[in-house]
Amino acid sequence: MKKKTSLKDIAREAGVSVTLVSYVLNGKNIERINADTATRIREVASKLNYTPNFIAKSLKKNKTYTLGLIIADISNLFYSSIARIIEDKAQENNYNMIFGSADENMEKFKGLVDVFLRRQVDGIILAAPAHSEETLKYLSEQRVPFVLIDRFFPSIDDASFVVIDNFKASYKVAEHLHDNQFKHPVMITLTSELHHLRERSRGFEEGGKHFFGDRSDYIITVEEEKLSGEIEKTIKELIYGDRQVDALYFSTNKIAMEGLAAIAKFKIKVPDQLGVVCFDEADAYRIFNTSITYVKQPLKKIGDQVVKTLLNIVEGSKEVEHVVFNTKIISGESSER
Amino acid sequence: MKKKTSLKDIAREAGVSVTLVSYVLNGKNIERINADTATRIREVASKLNYTPNFIAKSLKKNKTYTLGLIIADISNLFYSSIARIIEDKAQENNYNMIFGSADENMEKFKGLVDVFLRRQVDGIILAAPAHSEETLKYLSEQRVPFVLIDRFFPSIDDASFVVIDNFKASYKVAEHLHDNQFKHPVMITLTSELHHLRERSRGFEEGGKHFFGDRSDYIITVEEEKLSGEIEKTIKELIYGDRQVDALYFSTNKIAMEGLAAIAKFKIKVPDQLGVVCFDEADAYRIFNTSITYVKQPLKKIGDQVVKTLLNIVEGSKEVEHVVFNTKIISGESSER
DNA sequence: TTGAAAGCGCTAACAC
DNA sequence: GTGTTAGCGCTTTCAA
């Protein structure tokens, strides 16, 4: 790459000191600088095509105007959507994002946090995997500005977060299915210790008990690694077995895709034979043969809020913000009876 | 954030000079440093929890170990998939990615390039929108290392790129449809001046002429902005109108999603009533009621290669690399007769 | 074996 | 109004 012009170059060319150039170009102390000198400096600067050296500025100010974003997987629709919103919002505030995918793996997560800290990001937005409490505590101790997104940890109470009310989201799904005359709904979710998924389950369990009777078999968990095979088996059993389940609620968009794939494969009729509700929206639902009912998170609000909260902290706020958004059920034919 | 420990802190604590600390911690001139001193320095460093100041290093070395990635839209499946691969590969080489979405908008693209240059990225990977030749020429002139991905511009011949053979990809689709007894195939694509999309069309046109007869109505273009409505109308006309089209080829994954959605909506039988081939893979195809035939790009190869090529340039190579990969047709029931 | 010192490009307190 | 200077944390030349 070509060498950039520096303040020194401009100073030399304009016959003034570096200080003055710095002042003029940053608009500082401008009131007591000779107008002509200022103009001349600006002219030389633009003639030499000056752009400030970001790194030098960062070193001096100890601020990089860079934020880190750690998510599970950038190629997952939910995260890429939120990433896009965060990116735009950061851009708007003159920050850049560096990102990394932790694959729900606590070691990878820790590695990424380390990388970001070494890069001296001004703050981090993170969707933390299970068992990452240690790392989060470390961040707190080091006074690194960070905000949790999507999930939080009850044991970490001094961290800001922006999440949705997962309990209520699922409870409302139970109610929705009841309103639509379904009798035997089951939620399929991932075997996970993540609090937000637990809450999603708890909400459906409570809702189930309230609307469908006091049983304890409203939830079925599947291990993430065996998702594909397991879910086909599970669905077959539920539909054709003794339980006569008449509606399924998939608790994440990943599970939803697998579940819908199985339903398509077995040519199960939705909603006649089986009602379906999915978590999270997806363009892809439209290619399913029935329009899909889904729980919609306010992605834009979440993304904007998380950047706002983080920048507050970066700028010195000591306040811990806990923002909880509500979800909406977008009704499709898949759960209409 | 807490203040970091610096070389100076270590030097003071260990009673040596900063130089020595720098040498030891970077493993330089290690052969002529007293082993005990070295050990002591390392001990102090770890005791004080030293991590090097990346910014200072960058300033000194004029290298940030950061790469920029500009794509159309990170929330688009194709780009988020490739982003994930690039991210991993960069990580592997101790580089970080900052990214931005240009939305196929030349102004936004230019803006992002500017931002990245100001950030002094060591190199840029870009999926450039139409009419961005000016910006690319500027990058060439400034000797900024960059590699084009997905699309290239015939008029810019000194830029490295990693792409697929779009002509051949589409030609093979025509052949595939012919092999499967289809008679009247049409390709639906975007109205676009992008060379790679043009090539995709040209391939199908040539293939069509070769396999289905010398006509000139093999391609239908739709404007991106009106995609949703337009495509429904188009498909209806093609199927139920005079043309008796019996197979559709969707030229991008975005069009494919829209097209499949329309097909699902109209309850068109695939493949009996209509054969379907899509460009690019998508998990979501599985929830369509028929398994989908698609053109598969070697994403992993592309992503790995583009990082490799870029790092070569970053490290001083003057060679212009033009890498063209081939695609594969993954056959599903949607085009089997 | 070790260290002093210059300098990467910039900011800002403090002269003049 | 303008300039001198110190210093952010690091690397590296040169001298000791």
Distance A63 CA to C7 C1' (A): 22
Please determine, for residue A241, whether its predicted confidence score (pLDDT) is greater than 90: no
pLDDT at B229: 87
Q: Distance from A260 to chain B by nearest Cα, in Å?
A: 5
Q: Which nucleotides of D are covered by protein (CB under 7 A)?
A: 1-5, 7-13
The per-residue pLDDT for range B213-254, each reduced to its tens digit, is 999 999 999 998 888 889 999 999 999 888 889 999 999 999
Name the packing angle between helices B7-14 and B35-47 (round to 10°).
120
Closest residue (CA to C1') to nucleotide D11 in the complex? B60
B residues 54-93 closer than 8 Å to A (CB)? 54-56, 58-59, 64, 66, 73-77, 80-81, 83-84, 87-88, 91
Q: What are phi and psi of A137, to 5 degrees?
A: -60, -40
pLDDT at A3: 81
Yes or no, beta carbons of A87 and B96 under 8 Å apart: no
Token duo for residue B256: 């494919």
Please determine, for residue A288, whether its predicted confidence score (pLDDT) is greater than 80: yes
Yes or no, beta carbons of B120 and A55 under 8 Å apart: yes
Share of chain A above pLDDT 90, in %: 92
B80 Cβ contacts chain D strand, under 7 Å: no
pLDDT at B124: 98
Please determine, for residue B74, whether its predicted confidence score (pLDDT) is greater than 80: yes
Distance A206 CA to C9 C1' (A): 62
pLDDT at B3: 81
Distance B116 CA to C14 C1' (A): 36
Please determine, for residue A1, whether its predicted confidence score (pLDDT) is greater than 90: no
Q: How confident is the model at residue A81 (pLDDT cuts 50, 70, 90)?
A: very high
Please determine, for residue A6, whether its predicted confidence score (pLDDT) is greater than 90: yes
Q: What are phi and psi of A91, to 5 degrees?
A: -50, -45
Cα gap A321→A312, rounded to integer Å? 10
Closest residue (CA to C1') to nucleotide D2 in the complex? A20
Yes or no, beta carbons of A287 and B261 under 8 Å apart: yes
Please determine, for residue A330, whether its predicted confidence score (pLDDT) is greater than 80: yes
pLDDT at A196: 97
B30 Cβ contacts chain D strand, under 7 Å: no
CA-CA distances (angstroms) from residue A39 to A32, A48, A206? 13, 14, 70
pLDDT at A2: 75
pLDDT at A207: 98
Please determine, for residue A257, whether its predicted confidence score (pLDDT) is greater than 80: yes
For residue A122, the chain B residue with the least C-alpha distance is B1
B residues 191-250 closer than 8 Å to A (CB)? none
CA-CA distances (angstroms) from residue B128 to B30, B148, B149? 46, 7, 8
Distance B121 CA to D2 C1' (A): 35
pTM listed for this prediction: 0.93
Q: How confident is the model at residue A259 (pLDDT cuts 50, 70, 90)?
A: very high
Tell me the chain A residues in contact with residue B285 when contact means C-beta distances shorter than 8 Å. 287
Cβ atoms of residues B42 and B24 within 8 Å: yes
